[in-house]
Amino acid sequence: MKLLVTGGAGYIGSVTVEALLSEGHEVTVYDNLENGYREAVVQDAGIVVGDLSDADLLRKSLGGMDAVIHFAAHSKVPESVTMPAKYFRNNLVNSIVLLNAMREEEVPKIVFSSTAAVYGVPSACPIMEDSPTEPINPYGESKLFFEGILEDYHRAYGIGFVSVRYFNAAGATDRLGEDHRPETHLIPIILKAALSGSAEVKIYGTDYNTPDGTCVRDYIHVSDLAAAHILALEPGCQGIFNLGNGTGYSVRQVIDAAREITGMDIKTVESSRRPGDPPILVASSERISRALGWKPRYPELGTIIETAWNWMRAHPEGYGK
Ligand code: UFG
């Protein structure tokens, strides 16, 4: 297929582009390189450096495309709490610009990066797709609003959509890994501390109602996420799907696993809660397994951390920008 991948120079986008190319798809990346890296775009992909707010450039880039995979977004939960305008402008308003450009260019389908943050503080785990959606931060709200718009555009204009609600993406391929600036995600922060030998990892909140008092998350390998996007392109695939491993690990458990894998004594310091953090997020991915035959290849937390560690040791400066 001929695909436009917005945010294809970012973490999950670049890994998905690599996987799409290896399966013979023709890929153009559309990215403003604000958070992405040219070095993360695999050579065989085309690249358009542009912003999602640029309707003319989007329309030009969309001509003849079979589908869009839409990763481009701001995605830092704590930042969304202090800068909601930034999140609604980019994740919502600019995503509508994209959708309207798709409509004009008659691109029939979009696969959208959504998030577990749409569920807020779930009343039960594992979370099903029809669990109540009550986001507790603007990031989750921006993604949920856009899912509603996708439903409306599908009903009114026939644009097909698949929305994939990720839990916690982590890990790396041989070539591509995670490099956010500043880094806010737990696993790369822990591994950077291991690499430095001296930095302390802050544990945000030790008084949650969880087995060890720290937040519990469902970590999923970035290549397993990429594989799900490729399955979502199948004709007739439509709707909302969770994507996680179905097992939760606390912050302390992740740190312990990283100590084991790196062989380093990672120092920690207990800190206050981070705004916008739900205590537990664990997915049921039964729907995508049943509908599309998706199955994680790297379900073990140890493997996920190990791939991230290998990439970080090979790229101690990240992409070096
Ligand atoms: N954490 C720490 N110390 C740190 C960094 C994180 O204790 O230095 C904790 C957080 O407070 C949280 C957990 O580790 O409890 C995971 O935090 P991340 O920042 O790695 O991930 P989040 O769960 O906040 O968010 C991620 C994605 C979001 C997505 C969400 C869905 O970044 O885009 O998962 O679960 F919405």
CATH of the domain at 236: 3.40.50.720
- Give the residue numbers marked as catalytic: 139
231 & 295 share domain: no
Q: Is the pLDDT of residue 24 over 70?
A: yes
Alpha-carbon distance 45 to 42, whole Å? 6
205 & 234 share domain: no
pLDDT (0 to 100) of residue 321 = 54
Q: Report the residue among 12, 77, 220 best suited for mutation to probe ligand 1: largest number of ligand atoms under 8 A from its CB.
A: 77
Q: Is the pLDDT of residue 206 over 60?
A: yes
Average pLDDT, the chain: 96
- Cis preceding-peptide flag for 275 (omega within 30 of 0): no
Residue whose CA lies nearest to ligand 1 atom number 34: 168
Per-residue pLDDT tens for 274-302? Answer: 988 889 999 999 999 999 999 999 999 99
* Residue 310 counted as domain residue: yes
279 & 303 share domain: yes
* Residue 308 counted as domain residue: yes
Q: Report the residue among 186, 215, 218, 285 best suited for mutation to probe ligand 1: largest number of ligand atoms under 8 A from its CB.
A: 186
Which amino acid is located at 218 in the chain? Answer: D
Residue whose CA lies nearest to ligand 1 atom number 26: 168
* Residue 255 counted as domain residue: yes
150 & 52 share domain: yes
Q: Taking residues 224-248, what's their average pLDDT?
A: 97
CA 168 to ligand 1: nearest atom: 34
Q: Taking residues 185-203, what's their average pLDDT?
A: 95
What stretches of the chain show up as alpha helix (H) in DSSP? 11-22, 55-62, 77-82, 84-87, 94-105, 138-157, 186-196, 222-232, 251-262, 286-292, 301-314
Candidates 72, 111, 98; CA nearest to 233 is 111
Dihedral sign of CA atoms 218, 219, 222, 224 in order: negative
Per-residue pLDDT tens for 65-115? Answer: 999 999 999 998 889 999 999 999 999 999 999 999 999 999 999 999 999
pLDDT (0 to 100) of residue 83 = 96
120 & 11 share domain: yes
* Residue 128 counted as domain residue: yes
**Ligand 1 neighbourhood includes 303 CB (under 6 angstroms):** no
Least confident of 25-29, 58-62, 180-184: 180-184
CA 116 to ligand 1: nearest atom: 31
pLDDT (0 to 100) of residue 276 = 80
* Residue 177 counted as domain residue: no
* Residue 41 counted as domain residue: yes
The answer to whether the pTM exceeds 0.85 is yes
151 & 253 share domain: no
CA 139 to ligand 1: nearest atom: 36
* Residue 176 counted as domain residue: no
**Predicted confidence band of residue 142 (pLDDT cuts 50, 70, 90):** very high
Among 202, 228, 243, give the residue marking a domain's end.
Answer: 243
Least confident of 143-152, 275-284, 305-314: 275-284
201 & 257 share domain: yes
Distance 76 CA to ligand 1 centre (A): 9
157 & 211 share domain: no
* Residue 66 counted as domain residue: yes
Q: Which domain holds residue 17?
A: 2-170+220-243
Distance 167 CA to ligand 1 centre (A): 10
113 & 251 share domain: no
73 & 152 share domain: yes
**Ligand 1 neighbourhood includes 167 CB (under 6 angstroms):** yes
The percentage of the chain sitting over the pLDDT mark of 70, rounded to a whole number, equals: 100
Q: Taking residues 29-55, what's their average pLDDT?
A: 96
Residue whose CA lies nearest to ligand 1 atom number 27: 168
58 & 148 share domain: yes
CATH classification of the domain holding 268: 3.90.25.10
140 & 194 share domain: no
**Ligand 1 neighbourhood includes 190 CB (under 6 angstroms):** no
Number of domains in the chain: 2
Which amino acid is located at 7 in the chain? Answer: G
Least confident of 21-25, 31-35, 121-125, 218-222: 121-125
